[in-house]
Structures are given as structure tokens and as C-alpha cells.
Structure 1
């Protein structure tokens, strides 16, 4: 399928890494936060690295939250949130205080508990426990190994959980709710498995 892909530019996205992965796979895309690009796209990607509060503030300053909600919530365009991008879908976050998120999914962003053998931030490769193969994991994986780099995670309802990872506790690794998809790991940094995930969801 030839999607019109929009990588949303809000100042905290690892756009170049995502763009490079899409380039490698031969997908066409645009990096933008302009209204006409939202309206002309049919698949959105919200990448992200950094703090939850800064992410929400940037979306507010750009005045694109209503625009995003019109495309995702009203028009039901599919969106993939990556790392911070997925966390912003939640109701709120406890990172540096309590901050409201987009509220698109029933979930709260909490700090990883960690422990002696589980350092924070959680950085490195981990195997996923996959609960729903479609549509994020429908390509055959030799092992469900993906790259993580985060200190906070989404605690969400089990019915929207697509995959989890064991890091001293069960951590949400992927979610799906209607047309809203998210991954806590970085597919753009997860080599072949990450490329397979992009092919799975983009077709």
C-alpha cells in the first residue's frame, strides 16, 4: 500500500532515524507540522525523545493538538507513536510532576521501578512477549528483540496491550486501540526487527 506518511515535527522527535528507516524501505513521507500536510496524509507517525512535559508544551505551542485530534480521533487515521510519542497518548504522566497528556488511551505514565539488576534508564535490547501479532508484529521474527531507551512507561488496560517486556516488572512495550498504535521501543534503531515492524503496519 502506498501510504501518504506524515512524520509529525514537534521539536522532540528523532525524525532523522525514522526517516532513514522509511527511506531504506522505500516509503515516501514528509516531515511537517502544517495543517495541509496533516489533511493530505493517511498515516501519521509521532516519534519522540525527551521529557513528557516538554513534548506536550511543544504540541501546545505549535497549536496542533486540535489538528491531530481531528485527524486521529474524528477521521480515524492510523497513528504510530514511538517512545515518548506513545506516552503522549496517555491520560497523564508523573515525570517531573503530574502533567496531562492527550488522553487518547486509558493509561498513565509512571517511572520504572528498577532495582539492583534493573538500572534506570532502561537502555538496551530486550525480548518482547507478544499478545497481538496484528498489525504490528505480523512479519516473521527470528526473535522478538527490540531496542529500548527510557525511564518511564505506560501502565494501561490489558485490552489495549499488544506486547510487554520484563524489566523487573511487566512494562508495556506496544499498544493498540482502534486506529492508535504505540511502541515504547525504537523500531528505527532495532535493525531488521524494527524494519519488519514498519513493513507490518505500513503494508
Structure 2
């Protein structure tokens, strides 16, 4: 039986993500894992997260997960979610300068404080696909649930798979080979979120 692993490093909505995946798993086994060995055994990975980049990287180092995640993102279908998307980049403005995994070129920036913008960006917003991708199949201009104060700025525009507008257009989804990541929370986004997760389960990069 193929296995979908949800990576546990102490900073994600693990059980809500696992339950959402189980709803669309179509025969795949869903497991929450927290060791390099378990990550290496999985057929596809989901890397969720909430919180700060620096705390995320520290937790990954303490649990010895850094290299296992880097390897998995290169050779198996891999979905990053929220902080799990931001951590894929080289560095973040958060806390002055926080280093990420460096799997995607670019940086993570804080929304500029403007009178009409509430930070964090929290709630439902529309995501427009900027490129065709199987994980976003049938989801152009779908509504998803966001909770974040920082957004990703890829160095290579070709990596952007979807955009959202909050004061300005920002990157809401990225793709690179077997890696796909989203800033929003599909596990909290009802029917469209489940459709995205189902697309990921059936994605054959």
C-alpha cells in the first residue's frame, strides 16, 4: 500500500491535515511521521506548518529531519503548506534574517503595513492559477483559507503556480519538478481544499 506521510516537527496542523488526506486517500495509507527513516519510506510527503521560520528550522535540526526533507522534495511528490511552503525558500525577513531549506530560490517577505491591510492576512481569498499544473486542476479562481503575515517571493517567476491579491498580488502556490507548495491551508478550505489534496494524491510527476 502506498503511503502518504505528514511530517511532524511540532509546528503543524497534523491531525486536521491527516484527516483531510484520509478523506481523499483512495487506498493510500496516511501516517504522521517524525523520523528520517519514516520520511525515507514514504511514497509522497506533506510538509505542513504554522509559526516562525527560525523556530521551524531549529525544530527540523533538533529532530535530524533536514536532509531527509531535502531528499524527499527532490525525488518524490512533495506538498508544502503555509510555513511548510515558506521554509522551502532560501531565507526570510522574519526575525531579521532566517535561513530556510534553500530548495527554492528566493525569499520570504513580510506584508507592508498599510492602513487598509490587516496583518496577519486571515480568511478566505481567491487564488488564480498562473500556470497549468495537475495539483491545481479544476481550481482556477477557487477560494482558499489563509493565515499568514509573510509571503514568498520566488527569484524565478516560472516557479509561481498561483497568485492571490491582498493589497498587492503575492505568490500563493509554487511548483518545481516533484515539489508543489501553497501558502493557504487546503485542510481548512472545505471542498476546494479537498479537491487540491485529491489532485496531489493522484499527481504523477
Under TM normalisation by the shorter chain, which class is it?
Answer: over 0.9
Counterpart of 1:150 in structure 2 is 148
Deviation at 1:71, TM superposition (A): 2.8
CA contact (8 A) 1:135 1:200 kept: yes
Two-structure CA RMSD over aligned residues (Å):
1.5
1:21 and 1:185 mapped to 2: Cα distance?
14
Deviation at 1:35, TM superposition (A): 2.8
TM-score, normalised to structure 1's length?
0.93
Counterpart of 1:50 in structure 2 is 51
Deviation at 1:34, TM superposition (A): 1.8
Q: How many residues align?
A: 199
Deviation at 1:143, TM superposition (A): 4.7
Of Structure 1 and Structure 2, the greater strand share is in 2
Distance 1:58 1:129, change over 3 A: same
1:158 and 1:70 mapped to 2: Cα distance?
24
Counterpart of 2:72 in structure 1 is 71
CA contact (8 A) 1:52 1:87 kept: yes
Distance 1:113 1:199, change over 3 A: same
Distance 1:118 1:21, change over 3 A: same
Deviation at 1:141, TM superposition (A): 4.1
SS state of the match for residue 175, structure 2?
strand
CA contact (8 A) 2:80 2:180 kept: yes
Matches within 5 A, 1:1-203: 3-26=2-25, 27-73=28-74, 76-138=75-137, 140-141=138-139, 143-156=141-154, 157-203=156-202
Structure 1: segments with no counterpart, 5+ residues: none
Deviation at 1:127, TM superposition (A): 0.7
SS state of the match for residue 5, structure 1?
strand
TM-score, normalised to structure 2's length?
0.92
